[in-house]
Chain A
């Protein structure tokens, strides 16, 4: 009886552990891709500031352009969302996919913000 219970326990425990690890691997892989995108956006913004001669990192008495400030904010927000996403644990593919889609929208917003700066 004990052996049967142990066997049943192992049958349910091991696949769930393996599945959780797989979801985490997928999460990290997609987050790495998004982080590259955000890193690219940050590099673009850095170059924009260099070309415009903007050295301030804080707005004081009407300092830097609102569009640039807004883009910087969106990029930082996306980067923080990615960092938060990395430490989350998911129990199903659907949950993970939904979460990644939300993160994708944040990265896209950051891209749109950077696009407005380049216009």
Chain B
């Protein structure tokens, strides 16, 4: 029983390794002109996901009270940040 179990495991590992070598670009089918291999040329590069909680950016015009905006700049390290 144990022998059959190990035989199945070995076959499964062998199949997985075979799939890796046939499908992925590291396999024997990868070509010099295309590092990804022909099968993978239609893969669309995913666009970067915007980071959560990105800091705000600002744009002012000629009517903005710049001194008031400057007063809004108040960098603080609060104790509540560490709770």
Contact = CB atoms under 8 A, between A and B. Distances in A.
Interface residues of B, number: 23
B54 to A, nearest CB: 8
Given A33-B75, A43-B60, A48 B55 contact: no
Interface in B59-83: 59-62, 64, 66-67, 69-70, 72-77, 81-82
A9 to B, nearest CB: 28
B69 A40 contact: yes
Contact of B77 (A35, A36, A97): A97
Given A37-B74, A114-B70, 6 more contacts: A33-B76, A39-B55, A43-B58, A46-B60, A47-B64, A97-B82
Interface of B: 53-62, 64, 66-67, 69-70, 72-77, 81-82
Interface of A: 26, 28-30, 32-37, 39-44, 46-48, 50-51, 93, 96-97, 100-101, 103-104, 107-108, 111, 114-115, 118
